[in-house]
């Protein structure tokens, strides 16, 4: 299958390497408004450079278009790729809001094309194993969830890419750094019904997004959750999601996951899983998209899954803004 990369910025090389690592995929084009940047990445990966999406789709007829542009442009660029006949893989977050995704879903449905959204944690062994354990009821009734996703980011995180510091352009901690961890929580428990919390606006002048937030969540099944997300955590990064239930406890961290299950006789069984790195998980997501295109399986994330995570993010951000 032929792939075109749209956007030659910071994360493009990780995608290019993932594509190069899959025999059935071929990177045929790189698109960027900056012709020099497109040309440099295209030359490195022996593909063709373009400055326009429509031009590239006409010239190379890609099967898949990977969109790696600032969040505010996600929907527009994805629509261009769909109209060019390509299935789309969008970098996270899906978009700035659920509302702006309506045309994206309509266009994909009308053309019979797939839209997927990068979410490597769903493709790491630990996260997938805990999801299966939940499906089997190994935790019993889940009572609580605690998600801590914290890392250190200096001022340059916002100043080098100005859109990250502007909420109107899809910037902010939760939508960017926190997306992968939040997505895992929503994959496990669904979208919360209710959220309350607080935020601290970034210390960087001119930035209007949160650098830290804390929220309490209530889910429809009765589970309660606590979400903490910080960009001012020296000594990080760290991510830990813990679920507790009346039959056991499970947790997912950056490199491993585990579960303790109490069986019907009161016996204890323990499980541990190592998680592959994010690059290997990204390759796995590409393989899953290929199989879905061929009709072999459903997408593990897909547009619907990403919309749920975006809906949850909107709920939390509205709650902490009011708080």
The upper half-sphere exposure of residue 239, i.e. CA atoms within 13 Å in the direction of its Cβ, equals 20
Question: Is residue 283 included in any domain, yes or no?
Answer: no
Rounded distance between C-alpha atoms, residue 49 and residue 66, angstroms = 14
pLDDT given for residue 123 in this prediction:
94
DSSP character for 172?
Answer: S
Instruction: Point out the domain boundary residue: 61, 89, 117.
Output: 117
For 11: left if phi > 0, alpha if psi spans -120 to 50, otherwise beta; the answer is: alpha
50 and 135 in a single domain? The answer is: no
In a domain, 185, yes or no: yes
Q: Are residues 151 and 108 in the same domain?
A: no
Instruction: Give me the mean pLDDT over the 277-300 stretch.
Output: 93
Structural domains of the chain, count: 2
Place of tokens 């019993």: 140
CATH code for the domain of 55: 3.40.50.720
pLDDT at 175: 94
Q: Is residue 226 part of a domain?
A: yes
Return d(Cα 322, Cα 319) in angstroms, integer.
5
* Range(s) of the domain holding residue 86: 2-117
- Reply yes or no on whether the pLDDT at 319 is more than 90: yes
- Segment among 42-46, 182-186, 273-277, 311-315 with least mean pLDDT: 273-277
Percentage of residues in the chain having pLDDT higher than 70: 99
Could you tell me if 143 and 263 lie in one domain? yes
286 falls within a domain: no
Q: Is the pLDDT score of 40 beyond 70?
A: yes
272: domain CATH number is 3.30.360.10
Q: Does a structural domain hold residue 293?
A: no
Q: Taking a C-beta distance cutoff of 8 angstroms, is the pair 188, 257 a contact?
A: no
- Is 296 within the bounds of a domain? no
Same domain? For 163 and 311 the reply is: yes
pLDDT value at 298 more than 90: yes
**What pLDDT score does 296 carry?**
79
Are 159 and 20 found together in one domain? no
What is the pLDDT, as a whole number, of residue 291? 97
* Whether residue 126 sits in one domain with residue 86: no
Q: Output the pLDDT for position 65.
A: 98
Domain edge (last residue) among 88, 117, 146: 117
Please report the pLDDT score of residue 278 as a whole number.
84
* Pairing between β-strand 142-150 and β-strand 115-117 as defined by DSSP bridges: unpaired
Query: Shortest CA distance to 279 belongs to which of 7, 21, 9, 8?
Result: 21
pLDDT in tens, 53-65: 999 999 999 999 9
User: Span 86-99, mean pLDDT?
Assistant: 96
Whether 131 contacts 187, CB under 8 Å: yes
Pairing label, strands 238-245, 115-117: unpaired
* CA 228 to chain CA mean position, Å: 17
282 found inside a domain? no
**Are 151 and 258 members of one domain?**
yes
Question: Domain check: are 113 and 125 in the same one?
Answer: no
The per-residue pLDDT for range 260-277, each reduced to its tens digit, is: 999 989 899 999 998 878
What pLDDT, on the 0 to 100 scale, is given for residue 203? 87
Domain end: 117, 135, 162, which one?
117
pLDDT above 70: residue 323: no
């Amino acid at each position: 299958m032929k792939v075109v990369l749209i956007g030659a910025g910071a994360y493009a090389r990780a995608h290019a390497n993932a594509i190069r690592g899959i025999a059935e995929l071929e990177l045929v084009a790189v698109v960027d408004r900056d012709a020099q940047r497109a040309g440099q990445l295209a030359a490195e990966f022996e593909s063709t450079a373009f400055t326009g999406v429509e031009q590239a789709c006409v010239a190379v007829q890609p099967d898949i278009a990977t969109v790696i542009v600032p969040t505010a442009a996600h929907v527009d660029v994805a629509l261009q790729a769909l109209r060019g006949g390509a299935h789309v893989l969008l970098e996270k977050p899906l978009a700035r809001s659920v509302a702006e995704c309506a045309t994206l879903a309509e266009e994909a449905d009308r053309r019979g094309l797939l839209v997927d959204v990068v979410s490597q944690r769903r493709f790491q062994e630990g996260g997938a194993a805990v999801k299966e354990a939940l499906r089997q009821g190994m935790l019993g009734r889940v009572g609580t969830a605690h998600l801590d996703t914290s890392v250190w980011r200096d001022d340059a995180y916002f100043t080098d890419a100005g859109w990250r510091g502007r909420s109107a352009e899809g910037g902010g901690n939760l939508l960017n750094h926190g997306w992968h961890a939040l997505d895992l929580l929503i994959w496990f428990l669904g979208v919360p019904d209710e959220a309350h919390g607080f935020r601290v606006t970034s210390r960087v002048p001119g930035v209007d997004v949160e650098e830290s937030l804390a929220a309490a969540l209530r889910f429809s099944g009765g589970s309660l959750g606590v979400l903490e997300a910080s960009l001012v955590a020296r000594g990080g990064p760290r991510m830990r999601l813990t679920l507790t239930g009346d039959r056991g406890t499970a947790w997912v961290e950056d490199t491993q996951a585990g579960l303790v299950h109490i069986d019907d006789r009161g016996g204890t069984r323990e499980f541990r899983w190592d998680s592959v790195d994010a690059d290997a998980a990204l390759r796995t997501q590409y393989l899953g998209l290929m199989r879905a295109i061929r009709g072999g399986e459903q997408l593990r994330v897909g547009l619907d899954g990403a919309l749920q995570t975006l809906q949850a993010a909107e709920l939390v951000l509205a709650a902490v803004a009011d708080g």
